[in-house]
Amino acid sequence: MLKAILGGVLAAEEASQVYSAFDQIGDIVIIKVPDSLAPRKQVIADAILANVKTAKAVFAQTSPVRGDYRVRDLEFLAGENRTITEYKEHGCRFKVDVAKTYFSPRLSTERQRIAELVGDNEIVVNMFAGVGTYSVVIAKKNKTCKVYSIDSNSVANELCIENARLNKVSDRVIPICGDASEVIKNQLAGVADRVLMPLPERAKDFVDSAVLALKDTGVVHYFAHVKAESKKAAKEQGTADAGEAFRSYLHEIGKTTVVREVGPRIYQIVADVSIQKG
Ligand SMILES: C[S@@+](CC[C@H](N)C(=O)[O-])C[C@H]1O[C@@H](n2cnc3c(N)ncnc32)[C@H](O)[C@@H]1O
């Protein structure tokens, strides 16, 4: 549909550059406009707003996702000038601030996959919880688990509190604002059956903290970025990378999932690493 909409205002090749980098989060559309199309960004945004019925605002992403909080700069182009919206996924509702917090609709399959692995009465530590996406999806799916949800971004933490409430899992999603290493050291050492590390850019820096959070045995979902020539090679590379990251612990890598390509020949992977402490 987007192809058709943009086809009305751009040449086919130009249109493909825009629609491959189009994200809709709730009623907010975020596009990346290549420099060559910068003079036409307003026309593009107006066409999207006029034709995508569920869109109320259009922004251009003007920087990569960056910094500790993994946020991006946005330029308002059309519609309502607001960055807060509500997004629905797997029967859950999320209030998101697309300017002040990290959020990607492209991880929804991985959120569901991990939620399905969580067993009854598990204690989960989500080290980089953002607005609570993984935590809420997990807690909704398994009514007996508890998910400690850490984030150093206070805006994300506030939204995680609100999202836990919106989805009626406040009793089992426990948001904690702070640095994951410090929080684990001071409050969560040895509590977890499962630890999530959804900060692929800095995964290796936090391996010791992830293991510290575990009980004597448990699983760490290790997120990383690897360089590889193909998706198949990325899986092997991801397994090798996880093996290297956990080399000083007794571990076994159960499965490595290639989540998505995040740049030319750069893939995001998640390795499910079983740990035995000892
Ligand atoms: C890539 S985002 C993932 C957020 C969420 N899990 C999701 O998928 O929507 C990483 C998150 O880690 C947080 N973060 C970065 N450094 C941190 C640290 N040292 N301790 C706790 N959270 C941190 C950021 O604020 C950001 O929300």
Higher-pLDDT residue of 57 and 10 is: 57
Q: Provide the pLDDT for residue 87.
A: 95
Q: Provide the pLDDT for residue 12.
A: 77
Does ligand 1 come within 6 angstroms of the Cβ of 205?
A: no
151 C-alpha to ligand 1 centroid (Å): 6
pLDDT in tens, 157-188: 999 999 999 999 999 999 999 999 999 999 99
Given a cut of 90, whether residue 4 has pLDDT beyond it is no
Give the CATH superfamily of 2-82.
Answer: Met-10+ protein-like domains (3.30.300.110)
Does ligand 1 come within 6 angstroms of the Cβ of 87?
A: no
Q: Provide the pLDDT for residue 6.
A: 80
Does ligand 1 come within 6 angstroms of the Cβ of 133?
A: yes
Which residue minimizes the CA distance to atom 12 of ligand 1? 128
127 C-alpha to ligand 1 centroid (Å): 7
DSSP-derived letter for residue 185 is: I
Location of each CATH 3.40.50.150 domain in the chain: 102-276
Query: Helix, strand, coil proportions of the chain in percent (round to 5)?
Result: 35, 35, 30
Does ligand 1 come within 6 angstroms of the Cβ of 192?
A: no
- 256 Cβ contact partners less than 8 Å away, ≥ 6 residues apart: 235, 238, 239, 242, 269, 270, 271, 272
Does ligand 1 come within 6 angstroms of the Cβ of 103?
A: yes
Pocket residue to mutate for ligand 1, from 25, 102, 110, most atoms within 8 A of Cβ: 102
Location of each CATH 3.30.300.110 domain in the chain: 2-82
Q: Provide the pLDDT for residue 106.
A: 86
Q: Provide the pLDDT for residue 5.
A: 78
Residue 101 alpha carbon, nearest atom of ligand 1: 27
Q: Provide the pLDDT for residue 54.
A: 95
Does ligand 1 come within 6 angstroms of the Cβ of 89?
A: no
pLDDT in tens, 116-144: 999 999 999 999 999 999 999 999 999 99
Say how far apart CA 163 and CA 168 lie, in whole Å.
8
Sign of the C-alpha dihedral computed for residues 141, 147, 150 and 156 taken in this order:
positive
Q: Provide the pLDDT for residue 246.
A: 98
Given a cut of 90, whether residue 36 has pLDDT beyond it is no
Q: Provide the pLDDT for residue 34.
A: 85
Which residue minimizes the CA distance to atom 11 of ligand 1? 128
Given a cut of 80, whether residue 235 has pLDDT beyond it is yes
User: pTM value?
Assistant: 0.94
pLDDT in tens, 85-118: 999 998 999 999 999 999 988 899 999 999 999 9
Does ligand 1 come within 6 angstroms of the Cβ of 170?
A: no
Does ligand 1 come within 6 angstroms of the Cβ of 68?
A: yes
Does ligand 1 come within 6 angstroms of the Cβ of 175?
A: no
Give the CATH superfamily of 102-276.
Answer: Vaccinia Virus protein VP39 (3.40.50.150)
